[in-house]
Amino acid sequence: MDRNAKLEILADAAKYDASCASSGAKSTRKDSRLGSTEGMGICHSYTPDGRCVSLLKILLTNYCIYDCQYCVNRVTSDTPRARFTPQEVVQLTLDFYRRNYIEGLFLSSGIIVNSDYTMEQLIHVARTLREEHGFGGYIHLKTIPAAADELIEEAGLWADRLSVNIELPTESDLKKLAPEKKKPTITGAMSHIRQRRDEIQSDRKAGFKAPRFAPAGQSTQMIVGATDTPDAGILRTASELYGDHRLRRVYYSAFSPIPHADARLPGLAPPLMREHRLYQADWLMRFYGFNVDEIVDDAQPDLSLEHDPKMAWALRHREFFPVDLNTAPREAILRVPGIGTRNVTRILKMRRWKRIRIEDLKKLRVVMKKTSPFVLADGHNPGLKDLERLDLGRKVQTKHRQLTLFDAAGSALTGEV
């Protein structure tokens, strides 16, 4: 099979991994000839300094000895297979890089022979790029579950980011759909990466010349909707991963039905809005000071599809409002629906030299329909009279439209919730 045919199979197979922020859009405009968003090859990711980089996103191979039921590459699937040699991946990366198509590589793989062998092949690519070709671009390597600690340590020396996919939110979900994968093995690898990063950081602080180790941190992916675990289970796992392993990002990926799927899997993908709401809830936990039990609880284990999670919280906690924009602390303003982190900072700056008025919010392009029932500002705010209305939820509901994955990624990036 020639290199292009392999590229077609292995770049397409990589699209199911959501760990690159903007990959995997579901459709391209009808009849377009330029600007395809589907299928293969180049995705975008964000470096620690906030730069967006284009990455060649491929699998080394889509052969796999595991039988994860949600995955098109599982051993029992009849999908067309292909395998690159490490040298071919190195050459492709260099070719794309020299033509200025990409700034780095995102490399994952099905498991062949065993976890260690597969991990060695991925490391081989990264090491060759760095050592033999002096490649300074961004490298994101997927670590293989159950690979030896020494291999993960070596991977971190060549890669900017490592990811260990948790795949499903609970241990029983894994047992049901990916019996070869064990949660303690996955979280064990995450904790090893975290420890190694901590050691290197403290060596550096102490003035030693320690090597770089996955400087862009680690991320993971969780598939949503392959089992009936509610959003509460998904967000609790995410919160645990952020807390215990200091992950940079958890990516939520709506389950996409695959050909000849097992009867235990749903026949339909969950609504994309669910994935979008999970990204919004994730931002509330990371940047808005919410803890997971404020966003979901056992009485309401799923996020509302009608309202974003901050609005849903505000509607349940009217006693917290109105928030006075001229006196309230940052933490309280962060809880006002429709005011994102950047606007909170702008409001706090502005109020050092003037009283905040409703007109100022309009200038900041705050969505007044969402915000005005919940804030006190200088001067008259007619929206405030709605705070106690029983039908406030309906009034503040934004018009439903079908989302694309780009919406989810955009919201995840701006954090405007």
- Provide the binding-site residues for ligand SF4, judged by CB under 6 A: 64, 66, 68, 71, 73-74, 110-111, 178
The torsion angles phi and psi of 166, rounded to 5 degrees, stand at: -75, -25
> Cβ 115 to ligand SF4, closest distance in Å?
9
> Cβ 398 to ligand SF4, closest distance in Å?
35
> Cβ 164 to ligand SF4, closest distance in Å?
12
Comparison of 68 and 247: residue with beta carbon closer to ligand SF4 = 68
Comparison of 119 and 333: residue with beta carbon closer to ligand SF4 = 119
Helix (H, G, I), strand (E, B) or coil at 223: strand
**110 vs 64: CA distance, rounded Å:** 5
The torsion angles phi and psi of 11, rounded to 5 degrees, stand at: -80, -35
Distance from the first to the final alpha carbon of the chain: 48
Comparison of 56 and 71: residue with beta carbon closer to ligand SF4 = 71
Comparison of 142 and 249: residue with beta carbon closer to ligand SF4 = 142
> Cβ 245 to ligand SF4, closest distance in Å?
20
Note the Cα 353 to chain centre separation in Å. Answer: 38
Pairing of strands 41-46, 52-59: antiparallel
Query: What residues form DSSP beta bridges with 45?
Result: 53
**303 vs 290: CA distance, rounded Å:** 14
Comparison of 73 and 372: residue with beta carbon closer to ligand SF4 = 73
> Cβ 260 to ligand SF4, closest distance in Å?
14
Query: What residues form DSSP beta bridges with 221?
Result: 251
> Cβ 226 to ligand SF4, closest distance in Å?
11
Note the Cα 325 to chain centre separation in Å. Answer: 32
Comparison of 111 and 403: residue with beta carbon closer to ligand SF4 = 111
The torsion angles phi and psi of 259, rounded to 5 degrees, stand at: -60, 145
